[in-house]
Structure 1
Amino acid sequence: MSRNVYVIGVGMIPFVKPGASAPYPEMASTALRTALADAGVDYARIEQAFVGYVYGDSTAGQRALYEVGMTGIPVVNVNNNCSTGSSALFLANQMVRSGAAECTLALGFEQMNPGALGSMFGDRPSPFDRFDQVTEELVGNAEVPLALRYFGGAGQAHMQEFGTRLETFAKIRAKASRHAAHNPMALFRNVVSAEDVMNSPMVWPGVMTRLMACPPTCGAGAAILCSEEFLKKHGLKGEVCIKAQAMVTDTPKTFAAHDMREVVGFSMARTAAQKVYEAAGVGPEDIQVVELHDCFAQNELLTYESLGLCPVGGAERFVEDGDNTYGGRFVTNPSGGLLSKGHPLGATGLAQCTELVQQLRGQAGARQVEGARLALQHNLGLGGACVVTLYEKI
C-alpha cells in the first residue's frame, strides 16, 4: 500500500550559538508548537512521533515531547549523525505512506557544545574507525580536526582532478551569506564576500579557510505529516506533498574506491537522488529550489554533481555561471544553508524541510524562489546515511 503524504505543518526556532540557547526541551517544544499551529492540528491527533538528536541521553525525545503532551503514543528516538532530522522525517513518511498511521510527527533538536565534533564514548570502537583509517591513508594531516579532514580531503580530491580553485569554495560561502541575510532564523546574517572568506584564517593551507566550515549550533525543527484521508476528515489544506524520498547507506565503494569524495558520501547521495528521480518520474532539470547539506563549502560543490545539478567535473563552471543562486538554474540553500543558518545536527533536516515547504507555499518572503513547484532536499550524515526528499506543490 502506498498513499500520498502531505506536509501540513512545519516549524523551527532561530538557530543560535552554543551557550546562548534555551535547554533542549524548551527549544524542541517551541518548534513543535509552531508546527502544530501551522498545521491547525492538536497534538492529541498525532499518532506516532520520531524524534532526532545526536548529543543527548536516551529518551530525550520523550522528555522534549512531554512539554507539549503525554498521550501515550509511540515515540522513537533517532540518531543518524548529521542526517538525523531527515531520518526522523523518513520514518514519519513511511508510517503514513504505508497506512500504518494517519498523522505523524518528525521532530529534531540539538543542544551543542562549542568547538569541533568529537566522540562521547572513548572506551569502545568508534563508528568512524574505518573512515579514519582510509582518511589517514589518503590525506594524513592528523593535526586537523577529523570533520575538516574528511570534507577538506574530498574538496582537495576535486581540486586535484579538475583544477577547481579554492576561490570557488569561497564564492559558495559568500553566496550562502547573501541568502542568509534575508532569513531571520539564521545564525549568521552578515554578508561576506569571497575575498573575506579567502582572508579568514587558513585551517588547512591551500584546502580550507575557517569560513568554509559551518558552525556548531543549537536549535530545533518539526514537521507534521498526514494522509489525504486525514486531510479530508479534518478539513485541512494539503498544499505540499512528499513526492518521493530515499535513504541510502554506505556500500563497499565508500572505502574501496580510495577516494575522499566517496568517504564523505558522494555515491550515497547520487544513488539516493537517482532513486528519487526515478520514483517521481522527474529529472534534476525539473527542480527549482534545493536545500542541500553544505556542512562545508566543499561538500556543497560536490553535492551539485552528486544530485545531477551539473555534470561531474562541472561544478566550478556551475558556480561561475551563477547557476546555484537566484537568476540561475537552481536556487541552492535559499535559507543560507548550514554555512550561515547553522547546523544543529538533529534539527538540520527538519529546518531544510521547513524552508522548502515555505518556499512551495510562497511564504519565504525576500528569499522566495518565484514559480517554485518542485523542491529537493539533501541531508547527509557520515557513518553513514543520506536522505534525499522531493517535495511538490499541490
Structure 2
Amino acid sequence: MRRNVYVAGVGMIPFTKPGKSEAYNVMGARAAALALQDAGVPYDAVQQAYVSYVYGDSTAGQAAIYGVGLTGIPVFNLNNNCSSGSSALYLARQAVESGVAECAIALGFEQMVPGALKGAYDDRPSPMARFAETMDQLQGTLPTAPRAAQFFGGAGRDYIKQYGIRPDTFGRISVKARQHAARNPLAVFRDTVTLEEVMASPAVFDPLTRLQCCPPTCGAAATIVCSEEFARKHGIARKVRIAAQSMTTDTPSTFDSGDMRRVVGYDMTAAAAKQVYEAAGVGPEDLDVVELHDCFTANELITYEGLGLTPEGTAEKFILDGDNTYGGKVVTNPSGGLLSKGHPLGATGLAQCYELTHQLRGTADQRQVEGARLALQHNLGLGGACVVTLYERV
C-alpha cells in the first residue's frame, strides 16, 4: 500500500545573478541546512539524498550534501535539464511512499555563467539533436538567436497563428511576474516593469523580448519529505501532503505534430496534469495557487491551457481578465516565477516546492494566497521530462 508523504521542511537561499553567488557546494549545503532546520530534524535522520544540477561534474551532489554531514547514506545525482529539481523530489517522494525510506532530502543547486544555455560537449551527439532538427524543419534556425528562445518563441508564434492573439499579451505575463516578485525577498528581479518597458526591451526572437526571457541564475533549494510515522516520531507538523505526482516524457507527437507547442512539451504537460488530477480526484478548477515553468512568457501562456487552468484558445482572455493573479481564478507564480525569481536549473523545481509549501502553511507573507488549500507545481525540461505535483493542506 502507498503511504502518505509529507513535506517536512523546505529551504531556499536568495537567487543571484552569475558571478555574485557562492560556490555551488556552499549554496547547496546552505539550502539543505535550512530545510533540515525548518523540519526540525538532524541530518543523520535522513536516509537518502537526491541531488539535482545540470552544469556540474560527477558527484557534485556529494560535494554539496557533505557540507551538512557525512553519514554514509546513498546520494543520487540527477540531471533532467530544467526539470531536475522536481525529478529529485519525485524520487525522494517515491522512496518514502514505497517504504524504502522514512525520510529523504531532495536538494538542487546551480552555479551558472552569463549568457544563453549551451551544451557542454561538441564531440558527441547532442541530446537535443532531434528537437533541433524538428524545429529547423518547422521554422528554420536563426544562428544569431539563443536556441531555447527559438524553441519557445516558435511555440508562441504557432499559438498566435492559430488563435490570432496580440503579441503584447505575452508581455503582460512579465508585468505580472515582476509584480509578484516585488513581494519576494529571495527573487533576483524585484523591480516592477510596465508593459511598454517589456515590449520595448531588445528583441530576442519574435515574439519574445529580453524581459520575456528568464535570466541565467545561481541558487539552491531543498525539501525534506517523510512518512506519517516519521513525522509523529519526530514531532513534525503534518501540514502539507503530496497528494499526487506524475512524471512524463516525450511521445511521438513531440516530433510528428508539426506544432512547436508540442516540441516544447505541451503534450507532456497535459498528460502529467491529467494523471495527477485523476489520481487525486480533483480538477484544475479546484486549485488555489500554481507555480509553473515560465522560462519564457510563451511557455507560461501555453501551459495555462496544458494544465487545464483555462480551455484551449482562451489564454489571452484568462490573462486580460486577471484570472492568473490575486483576485482572479488561480494565482500563478506568486514567487515571481522563473522570469523574475530566477532559474538556477537544478534548483528550480525545489524552489517551486518551497513557495507552495509556504503558501499552504499560510506563511508566504506578502505573497500569501488567502485560504490556499490545493497547490499545483509544473516543472518542464526539454529533452525531455515534465513533472507535475499536487500539494494539499492537511
TM-score of Structure 1 vs Structure 2, range by shorter chain = over 0.9
* Secondary structure at the counterpart of residue 229 of structure 1: helix
Moved beyond 3 Å, runs of 4+? none
Letter of the 1:184 partner, please give it.
Answer: P
Separation in structure 1 between the aligned mates of residue 21 and residue 235 of structure 2, nearest angstrom = 36
1:142 is displaced (CA, Å) by: 1.9
Once structures 1 and 2 are overlaid, which stretch shifts more, 341-350 or 141-150?
141-150
2:207 corresponds to 1:191: no
3-state SS of the aligned residue for 1:8? strand
Aligned match of 2:338: 338
- Partner residue in 2 for 1:83: 83
Output the CA distance in 1 between the equivalents of 2:139 and 2:346: 29
- The aligned counterpart of 1:146 is 147
Q: Is 1:231 aligned to 2:231, yes or no?
A: yes
AA of the residue aligned to 2:78: V
Separation in 2, partners of 1:63, 1:359: 31
> Using the alignment, how far apart are the partners of 2:118 and 2:25 within structure 1?
23
Q: Give 1:141 deviation, angstroms.
A: 3.7
- 8 A Cα contact 1:240 1:392, kept in partner: yes
* Cα drift, residue 318 of structure 1: 0.3
Aligned residue number for residue 22 of structure 2: 22
Look up the match of 1:310: 310
- Equivalent residue, structure 1, for 2:265: 265
What per-residue deviation string (whole Å, max 9, x for no partner) do you get for residues 187-235 of structure 1? 0000001111001011224x11111100000000000000001011122
TM, length-normalised to structure 1: 0.99
Q: Is the 8 A contact 1:136 1:142 kept in 2?
A: no
C-alpha contact 2:134 2:255 (8 A) present in aligned 1: yes
Alignment match, 1:157: 158
Please give the alpha-carbon distance, in whole angstroms, between the structure 2 residues aligned to 1:350 and 1:46. 17
Q: Contact 2:135–2:141 at 8 Å: present in 1 too?
A: no
Distance 1:272 1:236 in 2: 30
**1:170 is matched by which residue type in structure 2?**
G
Alpha-carbon displacement from aligned partner over 1:116-137 (angstroms, at most 9, x marks no partner): 0001010000001010001111
8 A contact 1:139–1:149 mirrored in 2: no
The answer to whether the Cα contact below 8 Å between 2:103 and 2:224 also exists between their aligned partners in 1 is yes
Opposite residue 154 of structure 1, the aligned amino acid is A
Q: Match of 1:347? A: 347
- Tell me, in whole angstroms, the C-alpha distance in 1 between the residues paired with 2:332 and 2:235: 34
Residue 45 (str. 1) matches residue 74 (str. 2): no
Partner of 2:301: 301
Instruction: Give the Cα–Cα distance (whole angstroms) in 2 for the partners of residues 174 and 45 of structure 1.
Output: 43
Task: Report what 1:57 is aligned to.
Answer: 57
Q: Which residue is 1:101 aligned to? A: 101
Q: Secondary structure at the match of 2:262?
A: helix
Provide the aligned length of Structure 1 versus Structure 2.
393
Cα root mean square deviation, aligned:
0.6
Contact 1:9 1:224 in 2 (8 A): yes
Pairing 1:242-391 to 2, within 5 Å after superposition: 242-391=242-391
Letter matched to residue 305 of structure 1: E
Q: Distance in 2 between matches of 1:234 and 1:379?
A: 31
Distance 1:193 1:245 in 2: 36
Q: Whole-Å Cα distance in 2 between the matches of residues 200 and 292 of structure 1?
A: 24
Q: After superposition, give the CA deviation of every residue in 1:245-286 in whole Å (9 maximum; x if it has no partner).
A: 000000111001111000000000000000000000000000
Distance between the aligned counterparts of 2:31 and 2:65, measured in 1?
11
3-state SS, counterpart of residue 186 of structure 2: coil
Deviation, 1:166, is 1.0
Which letter maps to 1:173?
A: S
Whole-Å separation in 2 of the counterparts to 1:290 and 1:231:
26
Query: What amino acid does structure 1 have at the position aligned with 2:269?
Result: A
Percent of paired sites with the same residue: 65
In structure 2, distance between residues paired with 1:313 and 1:286? 21
Structure 1 distance, partners of 2:98, 2:33, is 26
Gaps (5+ residues) in structure 2? none
